[in-house]
C-alpha cells in the first residue's frame, strides 16, 4: 500500500502542469463534466435535441452534435455557453504540439469541510457525491483515432466518507484512504466522418442513461463495476450502442440500445439487457439478437433451485426513455425500467407471488435566459421504484454490485439504477439561478418515501437457509423472494404462508414500515477566479419512522464547504 501511495503522489505532482482539455476526437469526456449540462442548455434554447444525455461520450460525437447549434439564434446567455463549449472542444491542449502523439495533463485540488448534527440521518453529501481532495486527469493519444485516459486521485474510502463524525474529505490516516483508484479510466478507438461516427471503448465504470435530477433509474453513474466494453455507431438522428459490463468476476450484463430522434426535438430510446451470473457467453454478443428469446432463465439451475426459484443465475432487464422539447427552454423527459412483470395469462396460482418489478421517472426542466448573461432554472421530477425493482431470487443475479473495501474490509453495495434503490417513491423540486462562469445559487426540496426492501435482503445470516427438495441434497437457498416463500409454504403445506407470499408479490407500494424524509437544501458556488471556485450547501432534514421504526422522529442539519482550485 505504501508503494501505491508514493506512486499516486508522484503522479499527481507530475500532473500539476496543466488543466486537462481536448487532445483528439477519440478522447472520452467523463459523465460529470460540465460540458453535458452546457449541451442540455443549448439543446433546450435551440429546440435541438441530441444523444448527449447518455454519458460518457467521445469528443468526436460531441463535435458532431455541436455543429447543429446556430449561435446567431441564441440569446446572449446562450451565446456565452456556446462560446465556452466551442473553446473547449476546438482548442487542443497538447504538451507535444505538431506531433502524432498527444498528451494532456491536469491537476485539481478540492479540499472540503462537512458537518452533520444527527448521526441517525444519512449523509446527503456522501461517498458518491463529494469530491476528492486531489485528482489528476491524464489523457494521451495517437493521431485523431486512439486515446487512453484516467482520473487518478487521493481520496477517502466509503466507511469514513459516510461516517457520522466525518468532517472532511481528506483522509486523516492510513485506514481512511481509498484503495480503489482510478475510477474513471478508459481506452478509446473512434472516428467521425461526414454526418456519422463510430467508436469502440473499454472503461471501468461511470455509464449513465438519461440526464436526471435524482439519478437515472435505468443505469446510473453511481453503479460500481469492474469494467465495460462498448461499441456505438451514430448519426444526428439514430444511435446504436452495445455494452458488455463486468459487474463481478462471473457476473456480466449484456446490453444493447437503440435511440432515435424525430424532428430534432423528440427522442425515444429502447434498451434490452441480460444479466448472467456465469462466465462470458458468446450468444449475447450478437448486436441485433433479442436476448429474451433465448429463454435462458432455466439454463443453469439444478432441481432444487428450479423448485424454489423457478429460474436462476440470470436477470432480464428492459429500459425505455423519451425526451421532448415542445417549446424553447423547456424539456420533458421520462424513463422506465423493468426486470420482471407478470402477463395477464400468468396472474394465477403461485405465479401471483412473482412481483412485478418496475419503475418510472418523469421530469420537467425549465431554463430561461436572463438578460445579464445568466439563467433561471426550475426542475420538477418524480421517481417510483416498486419493492422488487433490481431484485431477483438471489443477490448473485440481482441488479446490484457488492465489493469488499481492501482497507476496511467493509462491503460496499451499489444498485444499477436509482441511488435511492428499490421500494421508493420520491418527488424533487428545485429552483436556481446561474450566471455562466460567475456564480450560482439554488433551493431544493426532496420528499422521499422508502420501504424496507434494500441491501438488507442480501444478509446471509437472515435470509440464507438450508433447504432440501424431495430426495436431493440440502442446499443454501435465499428465502426473501415472494415466490420462494410461496414454494416453502406449499411444501409445508401452509395456506396462510401461500396467501402471505401472494400478498407480498402483488404489493406495489412501499413495504413494511415506510420511512418519510423531507429534505430542504440551499446551495451555491462562486468563481473567485477562472481557476478558483468556492462551493457550499446547507441541508435541513426531518424523518418520520426513521430507520423504519414506527414513530421514530429524527431531524438535523448538514453543511458542506468546498474550495476547488484547477491548475492551468
> Do 108 and 566 contact (CB within 8 A), yes or no?
yes
> Do 469 and 308 contact (CB within 8 A), yes or no?
yes
Rounded to the nearest integer, the mean pLDDT of the chain is 92
pLDDT band at 77 (very low <50, low <70, confident <90, very high): very high
More confident residue, 359 or 464: 359
Q: What is the mean pLDDT of residues 339-363?
A: 93
Asked whether residue 7 carries a pLDDT value surpassing 90, the answer given is no
Q: Which of 172-181, 498-507, 551-560 has the lowest mean pLDDT?
A: 172-181
% of the chain surpassing 70 pLDDT: 94
Query: In what helix (H) or strand (E) does residue 503 lie, and over which residues does it extend?
Result: helix 495-506
CA atoms of 151 and 184, how far apart (whole Å): 5
pLDDT band at 347 (very low <50, low <70, confident <90, very high): confident
The pLDDT of residue 473 = 63
Q: Which of 106-115, 117-126, 179-188, 221-230 has the lowest mean pLDDT?
A: 117-126
pLDDT in tens, 249-290: 999 999 999 999 999 999 999 999 999 999 999 999 988 889
CA atoms of 149 and 103, how far apart (whole Å): 10
What CA–CA distances, in Å, run from 64 to 39, 44, 90, 179? 12, 17, 12, 38
pLDDT band at 14 (very low <50, low <70, confident <90, very high): very low
CA atoms of 139 and 17, how far apart (whole Å): 13
Q: Indicate the burial class of 364 (C-beta count within 10 angstroms; 0-12, 13-18, 19 or more).
A: middle
> Do 25 and 150 contact (CB within 8 A), yes or no?
no
pTM for the model: 0.93
DSSP structural state of residue 26: T
The count of C-alpha atoms lying within 13 angstroms of the C-alpha of 364, restricted to the half-sphere facing its C-beta, is 6
pLDDT in tens, 134-180: 999 999 999 899 999 999 999 999 999 999 899 999 999 999 999 98
pLDDT in tens, 173-219: 999 999 988 999 999 999 999 999 999 999 999 999 999 999 999 99
% of the chain surpassing 90 pLDDT: 82
Which of 106, 39, 105, 48 lies closest to 73 in space, CA to CA? 48
Amino acid at each position: 500500500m505504501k508503494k501505491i501511495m508514493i506512486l499516486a503522489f508522484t503522479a499527481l505532482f507530475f500532473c500539476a502542469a496543466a488543466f486537462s482539455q481536448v487532445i483528439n476526437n477519440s478522447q472520452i469526456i467523463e459523465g460529470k463534466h460540465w460540458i453535458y449540462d452546457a449541451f442540455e442548455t443549448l439543446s433546450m434554447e435551440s429546440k435541438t435535441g441530441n444523444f448527449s444525455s447518455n454519458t460518457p461520450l467521445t469528443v468526436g460525437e460531441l463535435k458532431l452534435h455541436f455543429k447543429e447549434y446556430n449561435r446567431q439564434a441564441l440569446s446572449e446567455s446562450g451565446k456565452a455557453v456556446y462560446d465556452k463549449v466551442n473553446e473547449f472542444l476546438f482548442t487542443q491542449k497538447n504538451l507535444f504540439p505538431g506531433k502524432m502523439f498527444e498528451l494532456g495533463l491536469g491537476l485539481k485540488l478540492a479540499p472540503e469541510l462537512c458537518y452533520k448534527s444527527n448521526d441517525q440521518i444519512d449523509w446527503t453529501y456522501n461517498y458518491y457525491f463529494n469530491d476528492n481532495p486531489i485528482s489528476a486527469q491524464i489523457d494521451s493519444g495517437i493521431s485523431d483515432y486512439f486515446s487512453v485516459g484516467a482520473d487518478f486521485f487521493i481520496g477517502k474510502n466509503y466507511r469514513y466518507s459516510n461516517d457520522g463524525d466525518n468532517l472532511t474529505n481528506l483522509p486523516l490516516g492510513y485506514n481512511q484512504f481509498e484503495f480503489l483508484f482510478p475510477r474513471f479510466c478508459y481506452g478509446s478507438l473512434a472516428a467521425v466522418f461526414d454526418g456519422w461516427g463510430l467508436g469502440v471503448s473499454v472503461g471501468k465504470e461511470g455509464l449513465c442513461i438519461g440526464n436526471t435530477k435524482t439519478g437515472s433509474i435505468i443505469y446510473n453513474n453511481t453503479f460500481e463495476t469492474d469494467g465495460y466494453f462498448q461499441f456505438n455507431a451514430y448519426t444526428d438522428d439514430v444511435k446504436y450502442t452495445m455494452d458488455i459490463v463486468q459487474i463481478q468476476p462471473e457476473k456480466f450484463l449484456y446490453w444493447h440500445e437503440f435511440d432515435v430522434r424525430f424532428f430534432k426535438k423528440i427522442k425515444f430510446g429502447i434498451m434490452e439487457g441480460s444479466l448472467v451470473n456465469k462466465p462470458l457467453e458468446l450468444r449475447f454478443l450478437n448486436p441485433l439478437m433479442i436476448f429474451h428469446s433465448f429463454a435462458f432463465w432455466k439454463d443453469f439451475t439444478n432441481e432444487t433451485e428450479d423448485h424454489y426459484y423457478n429460474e436462476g443465475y440470470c436477470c432480464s432487464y428492459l429500459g425505455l426513455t423519451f425526451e421532448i422539447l415542445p417549446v424553447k427552454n423547456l424539456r420533458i423527459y421520462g424513463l422506465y425500467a423493468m426486470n420482471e412483470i407478470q402477463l395477464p395469462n400468468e396472474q394465477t396460482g403461485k405465479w401471483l407471488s412473482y412481483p412485478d418489478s418496475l419503475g418510472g421517472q418523469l421530469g420537467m426542466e425549465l431554463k430561461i435566459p436572463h438578460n445579464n448573461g445568466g439563467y433561471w432554472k426550475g426542475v420538477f421530477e418524480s421517481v417510483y421504484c416498486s419493492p422488487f425493482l433490481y431484485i431477483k431470487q438471489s443477490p448473485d443475479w440481482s441488479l446490484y454490485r457488492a465489493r469488499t473495501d481492501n482497507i476496511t474490509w467493509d462491503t460496499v453495495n451499489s444498485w444499477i439504477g436509482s441511488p435511492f434503490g428499490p421500494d421508493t417513491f420520491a418527488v424533487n423540486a428545485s429552483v436556481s439561478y446561474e450566471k455562466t462562469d460567475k456564480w450560482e445559487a439554488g433551493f431544493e426540496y426532496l420528499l422521499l418515501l422508502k420501504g424496507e426492501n434494500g441491501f438488507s435482503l442480501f444478509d446471509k445470516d437472515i435470509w440464507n437457509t438450508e433447504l432440501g427438495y424431495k430426495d436431493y441434497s440440502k442446499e443454501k437457498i435465499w428465502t426473501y423472494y415472494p415466490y420462494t416463500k410461496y414454494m416453502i409454504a406449499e411444501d409445508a403445506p401452509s395456506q396462510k404462508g401461500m396467501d402471505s407470499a401472494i400478498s407480498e408479490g402483488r404489493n406495489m407500494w412501499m413495504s413494511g414500515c415506510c420511512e418519510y424524509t423531507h429534505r430542504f437544501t440551499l446551495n451555491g458556488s462562486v468563481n473567485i477566479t477562472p481557476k478558483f471556485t468556492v462551493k457550499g450547501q446547507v441541508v435541513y432534514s426531518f424523518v418520520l419512522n426513521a430507520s423504519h421504526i414506527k414513530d421514530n422522529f429524527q431531524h438535523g442539519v448538514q453543511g458542506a464547504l468546498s474550495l476547488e482550485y484547477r491548475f492551468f
